Structure 1
């Protein structure tokens, strides 16, 4: 997830302080991706350095509001119109963990899979419950974020099934 572009998108709505950006980010993503306030201010500092945002005068209590610049709007527009690349897949900690477990003496790989399945199923139930609680909610972005998390958890369960099926096979 690009925190940088997330903040630019929020600033396109209008100027905001760091804490407002954090709250708006979490609200926009259905509170599914918590954002550390330190990340917000570090990212704002880089965005300001790169000329994509500017600090506005007249902050309250030592806080400075930030606004998106024309260069920031152009960068945001490119991000929205550029597909997410698949050439360099993101590191998948579960895949790394499982492949290392399979080659590390003394590791019970079946137990690693069972433990992960239990955690993934608990997450799937939590996401499904959140979706049901918000069924009447008119917030489409939140519902879609929850759908993405549900689909990923379902895919992980399928992959765990696949791994378990191959554990008992020779080679």
Structure 2
């Protein structure tokens, strides 16, 4: 392989282990299964598919409905994915736009800041409720420990963020 896999490409190869998928299917799968903690845009997916096909990591199948082409993992793709899994795991990079607004909160009218805080608190409360619902809807039988660990992280993260919201100083929350 001529280039080192990035996490986005690796995630696509991971999904392709389950069978051939179109770019459209990969975008939808990524949004559903990892979208809450790893963002992928449609343009990133198609750019990575083109690069991975050029590197021989995947093969494009015959176009289907709406000219959508399924991609299948090659042996080289399996090897590249395994190599990526064996490599160092990069540190996470927190990008939380709300923290930028809070950081510069002295420049934001207090009513507006309180509104932004309330909106984001609501988003995180909804996300926690969704995760907790997913926990109760796990399939019968042995749960997937990998998906369960990821879901557990999401639940703990959302609880921590909600705790942070609840502990914000009254001035930030708009309760002078």
Under a length normalisation based on structure 1, what TM-score does the superposition of the two structures give?
Answer: 0.68
In the other structure, the counterpart of 2:132 is 128
**Which residue of the partner structure matches residue 107 of structure 2?**
104
Q: Which residue of 1 aligns with 2:3?
A: none
- Report the secondary structure of 1:103's partner residue: helix
* 5+ long unaligned stretches in structure 2: 1-5
Corresponding residue pairs, total: 164
Q: Does the 8 Å contact 1:110/1:164 carry over to 2?
A: no
1:152 deviates by 1.6
**Once the 2 structures are TM-superposed, how far is the Cα of residue 32 of structure 1 from its aligned partner?**
5.9
- 2:63 is aligned with 1:93: no
Deviations 1:61-88 (A, max 9, x none): 54433233444333312322234322x7
Q: Take 2:30 and 2:126, find their aligned partners in 1: how far apart are those partners?
A: 25
Structure 1 counterpart of 2:53: 48
- What is the Cα deviation at residue 122 of structure 1? 2.4
Helix, strand or coil at the partner of 2:110: coil
Q: Distance in 1 between matches of 2:58 and 2:119?
A: 44
Q: CA RMSD in A?
A: 3.7
Separation (CA, whole Å) in 1 of partners of 2:20 and 2:120: 42
Instruction: Indicate if the aligned counterparts of 2:56 and 2:76 stay in contact, CA closer than 8 A.
Output: yes
Partner of 2:157: 152
Match of 1:9 in 2: 14
2:103 is the alignment partner of 1:84 = no
2:79 aligned residue (52, 74, 80): 74
TM-score normalised by structure 2 residue count: 0.66
